[in-house]
Chain A
Amino acid sequence: MSLLQVENLGVRFGGLQALKSVDLEVQQGEIFGLLGPNGAGKTTLFNVISGLTAASSGSVRWRGACLDGLSSHRIARLGIARTFQNLRLFSSMSCLENVLVGLHQHGRQPSLAALLQTHSFRRREAQLHQQALELLALFQLEASSHQNAASLSYGDRRRLEMARALASRPQLLLLDEPAAGMNPAEKDELQELIRRIRNKFKLTVLIIEHHVPLMLGLCDRLAVLNFGQRIALGSPEQVRRDPAVIEAYLGVGA
């Protein structure tokens, strides 16, 4: 069974058909890319999967179970984490605290122990801090762990958001334009980093990105959306040669 199934998905915002009968299957362990011009519906698809937007028709299945109508925190608890295209960090908190919030689901402790600061409570809190620091180190952010998240450079903020998403120990990671605002060297590093975390955490990654060379080099499979419809699906090589894709990006007769 595939990990994530998107079946005949449609989303309508008033007169705008943002997604129209989209079908996708994401297999366990793969890096699956979503390409498409601006306004193609890529982020809308992410929002439906993570429970922020309701589907108008069709459904999303996670390991065969329907996700329709589940609120976003329930979906996050099932093991689906995401980052946001326009960065949604907790800006009044330090980097460490941002990641600690990501560890929310795993930090549950008896209230009485928390009130009385028992030995076991403090040990568990120390463990959580350690885990958060390790995640920050993985993204080379350990030096700024006590710095305010809002004070980081753009690239660092993108990495911090990934660290926070990973803290919830997801099985599926949705990355919405992780390379936006990064310089070429950072983009190369990012490609390496995404591969590394996929292997280290046995993740499945669904990624939206405009930088085509990065996507062709990184993804196992790609889907291309245009005007809310899936126009191509396959290996990077297949997608690159697809006439429909060439037409969407370059126009007819190119």
Chain B
Amino acid sequence: MDAGLLEQMLLGALLGLSVYLPLRCGQLSLATPGFFAIGGTVAALLSTREPALAGSGSTYPITSVLLEMAIAAMLTGVLAMGLGRVVLRLRGIYLAIATIALVEILRVVTLNLEFTGGALGIFGIPQPFDSAAGYASFTLALLALICWLCDRLEKTRPGRAMAAIRDDDLAAASQGINTADTKLLAFVLSALVAGITGVVAAHFFNSWNAKLGNFDASITTLAFVVFGGSRTWLGPVFGGLLLTALPELLRPVGDLRLIVFGVVILVGPLFFPQGVVTPELLKTLKRRIRLPPTPTAQGGKP
């Protein structure tokens, strides 16, 4: 497979995780592209305007990319904390609308500011890797790290609290769960993931403009989670990888591909209302994999 496409798929998976985190505690936030755009703009500005970051080698130093990620994370984190306090008082579709508004505000501001390059955006963002394969391995490592963190989150106390809030907000509060703080935590984590993904994307795309964080992106990233499933982190990763790849893989069928893509998005929720990847499916798979071979001694669990 083409490494460039793989890189795009991995970025899709990361954005899927960013939408998934608030959804896991029942919060339908579409703010992901907004934070993604902030990360991208931060990376574009710092790497093109700040000579100290450029280093002396032929490629842009990876440490500078990590520094940009740290700055983007800080910025999106602080913004999400402030905004979250206000918008997370809204529920369901109202929260979705408020977060769409946030994405649009950020887009229009970026479009009209002098130093973000206006409608043209910022060009010639320096490359830390010579090839798409370099990007893909870096992003794969990042995705693995975030998946691992999500897995730990799901299996521990804050993850249980999030699932409880998703099932029943009031009952969760009655068990002593601080629902406001837990929702805020999920919202901030979502912003962090989107922000650092934006940094990687800006370098990979080589240029950055306001169009990359728009309403369309909100819907596309939401589709990753709706299709893949929002009960475990594997869902959005699966959805992000597949739905990013599908339009490219369908190129041989010409213009029909858009129809096929639409049908997949439509049929997915119809046959898998919980998303394709659910905890039940994972349990069944585990059992199937365990059954045929003789049980190993190192399995541990009865």
Name A residues whose Cβ lies closer than 8 Å to a Cβ of B: 50-52, 71-73, 76-77, 81-82, 84, 88-93, 97, 100-102, 104-105, 107-109, 114-115, 117, 164, 167-168
Contacts and interface: CB of A to CB of B under 8 A. Distances in A.
Nearest to B182: A73
Contact of B157 (A89, A102, A107): A107
Given A73-B176, A104-B177, A109 B157 contact: yes
B231 interface: yes
Contacts of B166: 92
A97 B156 CA distance: 11
A173 B159 CA distance: 26
Contact of A73 (B157, B178, B231): B178
A91 to B, nearest CB: 6
A90 B157 contact: no
Given A76-B173, A93-B163, A114-B152, A88 B168 contact: yes
A105 B176 contact: yes
B172 interface: yes
B266 interface: no
**Residue of A88, A90, A108 with highest tally of chain B CB at under 10 A:** A90
B174 A81 contact: yes
Contacts of A73: 173-179
A205 to B, nearest CB: 16
**Residue of A52, A77, A92 with highest tally of chain B CB at under 10 A:** A92
B173 A104 contact: no
- List 7 A-B pairs, minimum CB-CB distance, nearest first: A88-B171, A76-B176, A90-B167, A72-B173, A105-B176, A114-B156, A101-B164
Contacts of A91: 167-168
A216 B176 CA distance: 32
Given A76-B173, A101-B164, 12 more contacts: A51-B173, A72-B173, A73-B179, A84-B174, A89-B167, A89-B168, A90-B167, A90-B168, A91-B167, A105-B175, A114-B156, A168-B176
B173 A92 contact: no
11 contacts: A50-B174, A71-B173, A76-B175, A89-B167, A89-B168, A90-B167, A90-B171, A92-B163, A97-B160, A104-B175, A109-B156
Contacts of B156: 109, 114
A77 B157 contact: no
Interface residues of B, number: 22
A84 B171 contact: yes
A108 B156 CA distance: 10
B282 interface: no
Contacts of A90: 163-164, 167-168, 171-172
Nearest to A88: B171
A142 to B, nearest CB: 16
Contacts of A72: 170, 173-174
Interface string B179-197: 1000000000000000000
B88 to A, nearest CB: 14
Contacts of B173: 51-52, 71-73, 76
A108 B167 CA distance: 21
B270 interface: no
B69 interface: no
A82 B174 contact: yes
**Residue of B167, B170, B177 with highest tally of chain A CB at under 10 A:** B167
Nearest to B164: A101
A104 B160 contact: yes
A168 B172 CA distance: 12
Contacts of B177: 73, 101, 104
Contacts of A81: 174-175
A76 B174 contact: yes
Nearest to A83: B174
A105 B175 CA distance: 8
Contact of B161 (A76, A92, A104, A164): A104
